[in-house]
Amino acid sequence: MSEPAYTDYHQIRGTSLVIYKRKNSGAFQVRMNIEGVKGYIVKSSKKKSLDEAIETAEVMYEDYRYRVRHNLDIGTFNFSSLYKRWWRDHENTLSVHRQRFIEGTARRYLLPFFGKKPTDAITDEFVAQYWDWRINYWSSDEGLEKIDKAQKSRTTKNKPYKTVLGNVAKVPAQKTLQMEQSLLRQIFHWARRTGRLKYDVLVKAPKVSRANSARENNPSRRPAFELDEWRTLVRYLRNWVKEESHGSQPRKNGSFSRIKGEDYSLVHSLHRYQREVLRCYVQFMCYSGLRPNEARQLRWRDVDFDWVDEEGKRQVLLYVAPTTKTGEREVIPLWYVRSTLKRLKKISQFTGSDDLVFCSHTGEPIENFGKTFKDVLKKANLLDDRFGRARTIYSLRHTYATFRLLYAGIPMETLALNMGTSPKMIFDHYSHITARQQAHVLGRRGKTRRGQG
C-alpha cells in the first residue's frame, strides 16, 4: 500500500476549506472549494505553525469569496493575459490611430519582452531591463534577422503589403520611448486599480544617447524641405509619372502577376497609376499639413471644393475624421489642393462620397507611402537635409508649417488651430523661422558707428 501524498490533514470548514502538508514539505497547503468556481483552488500558506496556517487559510478563503461575488479575477496572471484583459476593456474607447499604435507596440516589443512574466515578478528592476533591451533591439542579432527576413519576404493574396522595415530607427527617438512609457503606465495603473497587481511599478524611460545623430543634436528641429528643394521634388515627380509606358501589368486569375523573364524595371499602366497617386499625395500633404493618418481616413465626402469664406472667396474645406489623433476638426488647405485632388479624382475609379481619397487600384486604403517616397527622395538626391537628417512623409507636414510661417506670415496660434496642434508645439519646433522673418532688421546695412566694430 502506497504512502499518502499528504500529512497533517485538517478540515476547517468541512471540505470547503482544508489545510494539509505535502510529503517532505514543512509549510501547510490551503485547499479551497469556492461556490461558483470549478474545481479546487490550492495555495501555499507559507506557514509551518498550525495556528498561523489556519488563520492564513481563513483570510484566503474570505478573499476568494469576495472576488467571486464581485466578479474579480482569481487566477494567476502573466503580462500577456494582463494585457489582453486591459485591451478588451479599453479597445473601443480609443481612436483608430491609438489602436494601431498600441497593437503594433505590444506585438513588436511589450509581449516579446514581458509576455510570459508573472505579474508578481514584474519589478522595478525588470522594467528597467526592458528599456535596455528596447533601445538596443534593432541592433541586436534578433532585430537584424527580422529586418533581413522582412526585406526578403514576398507579398501574398492575404498579405498584399510588404513591410521591409527600411525606415526603422536603430536607436528609438526619445518621443517613441515616452509614448511606450505612457502605455506601460496605463496598463500597470489599471492592473493596480483593479487588484490584478499588488504594488505600483516604476516606469520611467531613460534618456537616449544619440551623439552621432544630427537629429539628436537638435531634437526640436524637424527635417523639412527648403523652397528650392520642394520645387525640385515637384519637377521630379512630374517627370517620374510621365516616363514612357510599356504596356499593361499582366494578370493571372484576375490578379496582377509576374511573368518570368520580363523586365519589371519598365513602367506599365499600373505603375503609372501608382506614381500619379503618390505625386498627388505628396503635393496634398504639403499643401494641407495633415498627418498621414488623417489623410489616410479622408473620403471624398470630406472634401468641399466650393466652400465660401467670410470675404466671399471660394476655398477648399477638409473635414478631418473624429477617429484621428486629435479628433474632429476643419482644415483650410492651400488653394493648390483643388487642382491636385481634381487630377486624382480624374484617374481614380473610386470617387463616390464614401470612397477613400487615397486608395489602391482596388479601392483599398494605402497603408503606407513611406517606402516608395523614400526611394523617390533617394533618386532625386533629396533624402537628407543639410544636417544629415533623413526626411520622411511627416517632413511634408513640417514643410507646410515652415512655408506658412515664413512666406505667408500666418500667426502661430492660427496655424496651430488649422494643424490640430498647440501653439506651444508650433513654437518649440518652428521658432527658428522668426529669425528669417526679421532678416530685414537683423541684417540691416548702414554706417558703422565708431566704437561698434
pLDDT digits (tens, 9 = 90+) for 417-450: 999 999 988 888 887 677 776 676 666 665 555 5
Q: Which residues pair with 6 in a beta bridge?
A: 22
Please tell me the predicted confidence (pLDDT) of residue 356: 94
Three cell numbers at 97? 490611430
The DSSP output letter for 330 is E
Fold category of 79-209 in CATH? DNA polymerase; domain 1 (1.10.150)
Please tell me the predicted confidence (pLDDT) of residue 429: 81
Q: How far apart are CA 433 and CA 358, in angstroms?
A: 32
Please tell me the predicted confidence (pLDDT) of residue 261: 44
Give the type of residue at 17: L
- Mean pLDDT of the residues in the chain: 83
* pLDDT confidence tier of residue 358, bands split at 50, 70 and 90: very high
Contact 328, 322 (CB under 8 A): yes
Please tell me the predicted confidence (pLDDT) of residue 322: 84
Please tell me the predicted confidence (pLDDT) of residue 198: 80
Q: Is the pLDDT of residue 219 over 50?
A: no
Three cell numbers at 91? 479597445
**234-265 confidence digits (pLDDT tens):** 999 999 998 755 445 455 554 444 444 444 44
The DSSP output letter for 15 is B
Residue whose C-alpha cell is 546695412: 445
Please tell me the predicted confidence (pLDDT) of residue 226: 93
Please tell me the predicted confidence (pLDDT) of residue 350: 94
Work out whether strand 28-32 and strand 17-22 pair parallel, antiparallel, or are unpaired. Answer: antiparallel
Q: How far apart are CA 331 and CA 315, in angstroms?
A: 10
Q: Of 108, 109, 104, 10, nearest to 55 (Cα)?
A: 10
**Overall average pLDDT of the 362-375 stretch:** 87
Name the least confident of 219-228, 375-384, 422-431: 219-228
Selected residue with higher pLDDT from 278 and 249: 278
| Three-state secondary structure of 81-146 | HHHHHHHHHHHHHCCHHHHHHHHHHHHHHHHHHHCCCEHHHCCHHHHHHHHHHHHHHHHCHHHHHH
Contact 320, 290 (CB under 8 A): yes
Name the least confident of 59-63, 225-229, 247-251, 395-399: 247-251
Residues ≥6 apart with Cβ < 8 Å to 428: 220
- Sign of torsion, CA 371 373 377 380? positive
* Superfamily of structural domain 227-440: Intergrase catalytic core (1.10.443.10)
Q: Provide the CB-side half-sphere exposure for 157 (13 A, CA).
A: 6
**13-42 confidence digits (pLDDT tens):** 998 999 999 888 889 999 999 888 888 888
Q: How far apart are CA 395 and CA 286, in angstroms?
A: 9
In percent, how much of the chain has pLDDT > 90?
Answer: 47
**Overall average pLDDT of the 74-99 stretch:** 84
Residues ≥6 apart with Cβ < 8 Å to 273: 347, 361
Name the least confident of 5-14, 165-174, 293-302: 165-174
Helix/strand number for the chain, H first, E second: 18, 9
Please tell me the predicted confidence (pLDDT) of residue 4: 61
The DSSP output letter for 394 is H
Please tell me the predicted confidence (pLDDT) of residue 213: 44
Residues ≥6 apart with Cβ < 8 Å to 219: 174
Three cell numbers at 21? 502538508
Selected residue with higher pLDDT from 155 and 246: 155
Q: Is the pLDDT of residue 160 over 80?
A: no
Q: Is the pLDDT of residue 174 over 90?
A: no
Where do the H-state alpha helices sit in 269-369? 269-288, 292-296, 337-347
Residue whose C-alpha cell is 481614380: 348
SS3 426: helix
Q: Which residues pair with 182 in a beta bridge?
A: none
Please tell me the predicted confidence (pLDDT) of residue 23: 81
Residues in the chain: 453
Please tell me the predicted confidence (pLDDT) of residue 140: 87
Q: Is the pLDDT of residue 122 over 70?
A: yes
Q: Is the pLDDT of residue 61 over 60?
A: yes
Residues ≥6 apart with Cβ < 8 Å to 170: 138, 139
**Overall average pLDDT of the 280-309 stretch:** 94
**199-218 confidence digits (pLDDT tens):** 889 999 998 865 444 444 44
DSSP per-residue codes, 192-249:
HHTTS-SS-----PPPP--TT-HHHHSTTPPP---HHHHHHHHHHHHHHHTSPB-S--
Sheet holding 28-32, edge to edge: 6-11, 17-22, 28-32, 41-44
* pLDDT confidence tier of residue 221, bands split at 50, 70 and 90: low
Please tell me the predicted confidence (pLDDT) of residue 255: 46
Residue whose C-alpha cell is 469664406: 309
**126-151 confidence digits (pLDDT tens):** 999 999 999 999 888 888 888 888 77
Contact 271, 376 (CB under 8 A): no
Contact 285, 400 (CB under 8 A): yes
Please tell me the predicted confidence (pLDDT) of residue 444: 62
Selected residue with higher pLDDT from 452 and 75: 75
